[in-house]
Every structure is written in structure tokens, then in C-alpha cells.
Amino acid sequence: MLDGILSGLSTAIMPTNLMMVMVGCFVGTFIGMLPGLGPISAIALMIPISYGLDPASGLILMAGVYYGAVFGGSTSSILINAPGCSSTVVTAFDGYPMAQKGQAGKALALAAYSSFVGGTLSAIMLLIAAPVLANVSLSFQSSDYFALMLVGLSAVAAFAGKNQVVKAWMMTILGLMLATVGIDKGVGVERFTFGLTDLMDGFSFLLLAMATFALGETLMGILKPQDDTRQEEQAKIGQIGSMKVTKEEFKEVAPVSIRSSILGFFVGVLPGAGATIAAFLSYGFERSIAPKDKQAEFGKGSLRGLVAPESANNAASSGSFVPLLTLGIPGSGTTAIMLGALIAYGIQPGPRLFVDHPDIFWSVIISMYFGNIVLVILNLPLIPYISKLLMVPRTVLLPMILFFSITGVYLVSFNTVDVFIMLLVAIAAIALRLANFPLAPLLLGFILGGLMEENLRRALMISDGEISFLWERPITLAFTVIAALVLITPIIRTAMQYKKKASDAKLNVE
């Protein structure tokens, strides 16, 4: 372990990688501030750039973009009540009321300090938790991998909103179907190519990621006109007030930040949970344990209500790397895209990553701590100036995103057919979004589809074609049971809700 940490440290402190951390944090902060373009879109835009880098530098860049975007999302939440990403929705509950009171500078400064505490504590916990999980999982076989991926797919309900579990499953199945297009690697037979040579290699992960998120968000932005009230709010952005935080205020929020960071990290470790759930949980927890006079302040500009979700969502962002790096299960839609980037580099994420690529494994973890330092140093002095970037006209911003999305996909394959397919996928993604279908499960199904098929084939070969491999090994059986429980829990919960409604209606009639 010590050798791996030293190897990762030497990789992380290379001038190129330190520059990647700084570039990733800055770009992520900027993109995160723009309403609607969260960390998923930010990383999707970075993938074409990362392909020209070595795996360690590319992942460090994308990790920097990830927590930079989560950090930047709080700026638009506080200043104009428009969360840059879903994980900063809770930040707007008390951050925007503070801005309305003329305390925007203090709110932005507290958000920066909270993000630093959350990111730092989670990086330390990640350093401890990751090798423990990795050592336990070194005994994994193909059947275990397959069952583990079943757990990842069954947890797809976390990507769905309320009453959207069935839609999330449908999108996952669609992703699995798209993963089967192309030549079967095991047999060498074409599948679902319809005689088109351009589909023989299957769909590109970059193409789907850019089409569903970066390009899809842009086209949605074109369809939705900007209202006048948002423009008026943007005109007042320059007046952010004082950034000074008193000692008494620090004493009040320090325990809140530490508690929320620990809670956020453990929520982030859970596959499928992510920073959004962590932010909501920490906000609710702090509100419930706060004194009555402090509880009344929540939703009206409470310091505790601002610090709790900001600490939690940054801690959860780092925590989501535990299942990604050690088990190969993405903890959120953003880490699902990073999982695809790892596979594109030819690196198999999971238990073997700790052994086969210790420099990459540890350098990404160590770079997170550097990234949090960079975020504070970079953002605190620049808050008055960075906030003005929110005034970039959409007539300038949207064409730029269109250009980078289309150019990025074309430069990877130099195939114009990919551009046309991307446009078709983007249009389909808009239709699905308008029908309230979550898109993250589609990417998750697509990414895990090929790996699941490969491990299923190996497991069936070992068991002579018998499905009994699912319960022959204790680890495989445990994962299979967990997957089944996670799969049926939403069904049971929905059935209980319907039963309760029916009984309530019956009582009302009587």
C-alpha cells in the first residue's frame, strides 16, 4: 500500500498533472456555474481532450472538472437561484436568501470553505477506505463480476426521480441493447448493424455521452427561451457585498461542516446514491438537530443550511470514486461517464485496478486533495470576477458548446457518419427528456453492457453452461441477493403506497 501511495504521489506531483488539476478545477468551476450544464456535461466536453493524454493525466483532469463543477454550481445557486447542477439545488435554499439580504459575498466564501472541508476530509477517508475494499475484492472471479454489475444495474433506481423507477429501468435496458450493436467479440459475428459498415464497431461511448448530455442540454437551451427576470438578476451580479466571515460564525458552522462531510462521504460511497442525495440528507439532518431558534432560520438565509449541503455534496463527489475505482460500479451519472473513459483507455476499473495500475489508482485520489487546495486559492480571490462570467449571453455560449460537441466527436473517429448519428441521438434524447425519462441509466446500461456480456460468457464456460454459477460461490450469491433486493424494493414500496392510499380512501368513505 505504501509503495502504491508513493507511486501515486510521484505521478500526481508531476508538473503536467498539477497543471491538469488546475485546468480541470477552473474549467469545472466555470461550466458548473452555468445553469443546466452540470458535472456530467462538463466531463462529456472534456473527454475528447483527455483522449490525447495518458490515462493518469486524463483521469486527474476529469476528476478536477467533476469537483470543480460541483463547487461552481453553488455560485449560480447563490447568486441567481439557478443551480448549476442537481447537487447544488439545496444550496439555493439558504444561499439565495442570503444574496437577497446583501450577503452574497459571505455566502460564496462560506460555500468555498465548506467545499474545502468536505473535499479534504473525504480525500483522507478515501485514502483509508479504498485499499480496504480493493484488498477484499482481489479474490473476484468472472461470476462475481457479473453479479456485481447486476447490483450496479439494479441500483439504477437512484438515478430516477419520484415514480420514475420503471422509466429508469427502461432506459437501462435500452442502454444494454445499444451495447450489443457491432461485432460480437466472442464469436466474431455482426449484430444489429443492418449491413452498415459504420456500425460494425458499435456506438462510441463519447458519441452517446456528448449527444445525450452536452449536445442535448444545448438544444434544450435553444428550445427554452430565457425569461426577463433572469436577465435582470444577472445584471445585479456584480454587487456581491463583503466576503468576511466572523469568528462566531466560523465556530457555529465548523461542527456542521465536519458532520456533513462524514455523512456525505458515506452516502457517496453507496453505488447510485451520489452528491444530490447527500446534500438533501445533510440539510435535513442539520435542520432536525439544530436548536429551535436556528431551525426557524432554515430557508431564510441560515448559515447552517448553506454549509451542510455544500460540505456534503463535495464529500460525496470524492466518495463516489470508491465504488468506481475499487469495484467498477459508478456511484453517480458523472462517475458513469468516467467509467466509460477508463474503459476507453483500455483500463479495467475494479478490484484489479489497485494491483495493475497503482500509479493511476493513487494519483487520482491524491490529486483530489491538491484539487481542493486549488479550488480555494483559485476561487476566493476571483469570486467577484468569476461571478460575472454568468453574464455570458446565451447567443455566444450555446453556439460554442455546439461547436465543441460536434468537433470533439468528429476528431475522435474522423467519420462524418458519427456526427449525423450524434445529432439523431441528441434529438431522441430531447424527446426522452421531454417525456421525463432519465438519461443517466442509458449510459450506465451501455457502459456495463459489454463487460456484463463478457463476464457472463466466461462464467457460463466455467459452469458448463449452467446458471447455477449465480449461487455456487458465496460472493456471487451475496451480490445476486443484494441485486434482487434492490430490484424489488421500489416495487414493494410502490405497492405499499397504493395499499395505504386505498385504505385511506376506504376510511374516508366510511
Is pLDDT larger for residue 274 or for residue 57? Answer: 57
Reply yes or no on whether the pLDDT at 160 is more than 80.
no
Q: Can you tell me the distance from the alpha carbon of 489 to that of 300, in angstroms, rounded to the nearest whole number?
A: 36
Reply yes or no on whether the pLDDT at 422 is more than 80.
yes
Confidence band (pLDDT; 50, 70, 90) for 118?
Answer: confident
Q: Can you tell me the distance from the alpha carbon of 483 to that of 471, in angstroms, rounded to the nearest whole number?
A: 13
Query: Apex CA 268: angle with CA 262 and CA 272, to 5°?
Result: 155
- For 294, counting Cβ atoms within 10 Å of its Cβ (0-12 exposed, 13-18 middle, 19+ buried), the class is middle
SS percent in the chain: helix, strand, coil, step 5:
80, 0, 20
The pLDDT, as a whole number, for residue 397 is 66
How many angstroms separate the Cα of 186 from the Cα of each of 144, 183, 453, 457, 467?
A: 20, 9, 9, 8, 19
The answer to whether 69 and 32 have CB atoms below 8 angstroms apart is yes
The answer to whether 436 and 80 have CB atoms below 8 angstroms apart is no
Reply yes or no on whether the pLDDT at 133 is more than 50.
yes
pLDDT winner (highest mean) among 6-10, 148-152, 311-315, 338-342: 311-315
State the average pLDDT over residues 41-62.
80
The answer to whether 205 and 343 have CB atoms below 8 angstroms apart is yes
Can you read off the three cell numbers belonging to residue 382? 476571483
Reply yes or no on whether the pLDDT at 251 is more than 50.
yes
Max CA separation in the chain (angstroms): 75
Confidence band (pLDDT; 50, 70, 90) for 231?
Answer: low
Q: Can you tell me the distance from the alpha carbon of 495 to that of 501, in angstroms, rounded to the nearest whole number?
A: 10
Name the residue with cell 462524418. Answer: 416
Reply yes or no on whether the pLDDT at 236 is more than 60.
no
How many angstroms separate the Cα of 206 from the Cα of each of 108, 368, 407, 448, 486?
A: 34, 24, 12, 15, 29
Q: Can you tell me the distance from the alpha carbon of 487 to that of 463, in angstroms, rounded to the nearest whole number?
A: 25
Reply yes or no on whether the pLDDT at 176 is more than 70.
yes
What percentage of the chain has pLDDT greater than the value 90?
Answer: 0
Question: What would you report as the CA-atom Rg of the chain, rounded to the nearest whole angstrom?
Answer: 23
Name the residue with cell 456542521. Answer: 256
Confidence band (pLDDT; 50, 70, 90) for 237?
Answer: very low
Can you read off the three cell numbers belonging to residue 185? 467479440
Q: Can you tell me the distance from the alpha carbon of 183 to that of 98, in angstroms, rounded to the nearest whole number?
A: 56
pLDDT winner (highest mean) among 72-76, 255-259, 314-318, 344-348: 255-259
How many angstroms separate the Cα of 246 from the Cα of each of 106, 242, 308?
A: 10, 11, 18
DSSP notation for 421-446: HHHHHHHHHHHHHHTT--SHHHHHHH
Over residues 290-300, the pLDDT tens digits come to 887 887 788 78
Question: How high is the mean pLDDT of the chain?
Answer: 77
State the average pLDDT over residues 88-100.
80
Closest CA to 304 of 267, 263, 251: 251
The pLDDT, as a whole number, for residue 357 is 77
Instruction: For residue 126, give the 3-state DSSP assignment.
Output: helix
Reply yes or no on whether the pLDDT at 314 is more than 80.
yes
Reply yes or no on whether the pLDDT at 129 is more than 60.
yes
State the average pLDDT over residues 445-474.
81
Can you read off the three cell numbers belonging to residue 299? 430557508
Any bridge partners for residue 190, and if so which? Answer: 183
Closest CA to 116 of 337, 380, 459, 373: 373
Q: Can you tell me the distance from the alpha carbon of 180 to that of 382, in angstroms, rounded to the nearest whole number?
A: 47
Helix axes 55-80, 358-386, angle to 10 degrees: 30
Instruction: For residue 151, give the 3-state DSSP assignment.
Output: helix
For residue 235, how many other CB atoms are within 10 A of its CB?
A: 10
Over residues 366-378, the pLDDT tens digits come to 888 888 888 888 7
Reply yes or no on whether the pLDDT at 163 is more than 70.
no
Instruction: For residue 164, give the 3-state DSSP assignment.
Output: coil
pLDDT winner (highest mean) among 10-14, 35-39, 156-160, 410-414: 10-14
Q: How far is CA 363 from the centre of its chain?
A: 19
Closest CA to 364 of 120, 50, 16, 64: 64
Instruction: For residue 160, give the 3-state DSSP assignment.
Output: coil
Over residues 454-464, the pLDDT tens digits come to 888 888 888 87
The pLDDT, as a whole number, for residue 355 is 72
pTM score of the predicted model:
0.64
The answer to whether 217 and 41 have CB atoms below 8 angstroms apart is yes
For residue 112, how many other CB atoms are within 10 A of its CB?
A: 22
How many angstroms separate the Cα of 154 from the Cα of each of 157, 172, 213, 370, 428?
A: 7, 9, 22, 34, 24
